[in-house]
Amino acid sequence: MKSERFCFASLISIFMLIYSVTVFAAEAKPIKLPPPNTTGGKPLMEALRDRRSDREFSPNELPLQIISDMLWAANGINRPSGQRTAPTAKNMQEIDVYVAMASGLYLYDAKGNVLSPVLAEDIRALTGGQPFVKDAPVNLIYVADLSKMGGLSADAVDLFSATDTGFVSQNVYLYCASAGLSTVVRAWVDKAALAKGMKLRPDQRIILTQTVGYPG
């Protein structure tokens, strides 16, 4: 009887695992973003004047057009050469932008203008220690791909990954100032817990996170 119960429990466990994988595959679909609107907006000096950090956010979701525009401003491709709106040392392009939303975790594919699914679960609460992160519609996670930084000293890796993330973050700040959105960049985050939740590789390093949404 014990053997039968054990076999039955094992079968149930296998079934649940297969079911979970199937559900994840069904739910985790790429999100094709609309082409970014690369014209209009506030003049640069006005956007700089209005640039600020906010910590109150509406829970209302952002339209895909705004997400597309924001991500293009953050680190999109702006030349036929494939170079980006944000500079990187030696054009390493080592900073990946992950997007945590209620529907799941996605990786911004600048070339395809697509949000590629990573996890079909809401991990926004892991993206920072502040209470607002779990309800804000979008939390960006800036991750350095260290595999693209081979041959550099540890000090250079630290410097370039931090500096390059700063360029991306500031682009988001200026876009939000132009579009009337609220944003704040954050370092208060349990990076080990977030990396585990994101299932990052050992050669990926979380640098900063940034919350974006409508004003609260």
Convert the pLDDT of each residue in 110-160 to its tens digit: 999 999 999 999 999 999 999 999 999 999 999 999 999 999 999 999 999
Q: Domain for residue 112, yes or no?
A: yes
CA 63, 66, 71: angle at the middle one, nearest 5?
A: 125
Residue whose pair of structure tokens reads 């500096």 in the numeric block: 163
The pLDDT value recorded for residue 19 is: 45
Least Cα distance to 209 among 198, 118, 59, 201 occurs for: 198
- Asked if residue 7 is part of any domain, the answer here is no
Task: Report d(CA 24, CA 22) in Å as an integer.
Answer: 5
Within-domain flag for 18: no
- 102 vs 100: CA distance, rounded Å: 7
For 74-117, what is each residue's pLDDT tens digit? Answer: 999 999 999 999 999 999 999 999 999 999 999 999 999 999 99
The verdict on residue 140 lying in a domain is yes
> What's the one-letter identity of residue 26?
A
pTM: 0.87
The predicted structure's pLDDT at residue 24: 47
Look at the block and give the residue holding tokens 């094992």.
10
Round to whole Å and give the CA distance between 151 and 90.
12
pLDDT band at residue 164 under the 50/70/90 scheme: very high
1 part of a folded domain: no
pLDDT tens column, 8-65: 444 444 444 444 444 444 467 999 999 999 999 999 999 999 999 999 999 999 999 9
Look at residue 27 in the predicted model and tell me its pLDDT: 64
The pLDDT, as a whole number, for residue 21 is 40
Q: Taking the chain, what is the end-to-end CA distance rounded to the nearest angstrom?
A: 59
Number of Cβ within a 10 Å radius of residue 12: 10
pLDDT at 3: 46
Query: Is 30 strand, coil or helix?
Result: coil
CB 165 within 8 A of CB 209: no
Residue 13, in any domain of the structure = no
pLDDT at 136: 98
pLDDT digits (tens, 9 = 90+) for 171-185: 999 999 999 999 999
Residue 143 lies in a domain: yes
The count of structural domains within the chain is 1
For 209, the domain range is 30-213
Q: What is the pLDDT of residue 14?
A: 40
10 located within any domain: no
Q: What is the CATH number of the domain that holds 41?
A: 3.40.109.10
Question: pLDDT value at position 181?
Answer: 98
Long-range CB contact pairs, 48-54, < 8 A, 24+? 48/174, 48/177, 49/177, 50/177, 50/178, 51/173, 51/174, 51/176, 51/177, 52/177, 53/183, 53/184, 53/185, 54/182, 54/183, 54/184, 54/215, 54/216
Whole-Å CA distances, 18 to 21, 25, 104, 196: 5, 11, 20, 22
